[in-house]
Structure 1
């Protein structure tokens, strides 16, 4: 499997160090983030999933732990919007240039506002998130990635 993706190229260009983990992406039943955590042997609270949204009708991205759910009310508030809803998967793929199950917050075709759940600063670092391809995960310190995306950090998830 080639490990060069728009996400890894984004991190390389930004000078951010990372490690890659590959696993057999099955797609199958259950949440993809939890499958990835199990496959690479990491605890779910340190494996983050990327969710594409529409806030007040505009695209945005939320990055939350794989064992949590996104609060639409909290993410709308964090992005100073009135409403939020999940983006249609086909639209998310067109917008990001990634396939669902492989969407990374890094290297998306179109830059959109990004918010990381506050837990990213509370769990043991490094953390893991999608590397821009199904079955490819990026392990990195969260702060440089957050800074490179000019992302915000807020409480946007619930158990």
Structure 2
């Protein structure tokens, strides 16, 4: 883990937030293949980490607002579960261009941390089964390893069962 207070070498808003917040984390870099579109599976393979520890950040459209759902890359998010957590009838994946504009990150590199707009965030409760999880560091080929408790605190998120088991 990076020492709190040590300058982050990733240079993204997410790594700057972690450093400024004195939250321990580890950066993991890998060479992203521009032909790959399954970013989570690529991260698991390139980092040699079990897919259930790598979490994808999905921006959802809840009708009158956007929100973030964070789920393991080897799972399918249940839209109805996310909607229930947000107190709305239904959600759908947000338009990628809107997601990029609201978060400040490119699709495939959307970090749940230090987004342009603080969006309501729900994290699959399976994250609590691991001492650390991996989330995007703010660009393709950069992941952050962080404790689920720190991820929850920094995103002001909640946990709930969001995936089919």
TM-score range, shorter chain: over 0.9
Q: Aligned to 1:51, what secondary structure does the other structure show?
A: strand
Cα separation, 2, equivalents of 1:120 and 1:87: 23
Q: Aligned to 1:157, what secondary structure does the other structure show?
A: coil
Match in the other structure for 1:85: 92
Contact 1:16 1:145 survives alignment (8 Å):
no
Cα separation, 2, equivalents of 1:149 and 1:126: 15
TM-score with structure 2 setting the length: 0.91
- Structure 1 residue 142 corresponds to structure 2 residue 143: no
1:141 Cα deviation (Å)? Answer: 0.9
Contact 1:63 1:115 survives alignment (8 Å):
yes
Q: How many residues align?
A: 157
- Structure 1 residue 153 corresponds to structure 2 residue 140: no
- Structure 1 residue 107 corresponds to structure 2 residue 122: no
TM-score with structure 1 setting the length: 0.94
Match in the other structure for 1:32: 39
RMSD, aligned α-carbons = 1.3
Match in the other structure for 1:19: 26
1:31 Cα deviation (Å)? Answer: 2.0
Match in the other structure for 2:75: 68
Runs of 4+ in 1 over 3 A off after TM superposition: none
Closer, same or farther in 2 for the Cα pair 1:66/1:145, shift >3 Å? same
In the alignment, structure 2 segments of 5+ residues that lack a partner are 1-8
Contact 1:48 1:128 survives alignment (8 Å):
yes
Cα offsets for 1:41-69 (capped at 9, x unmatched): 00000000100111133110011001001
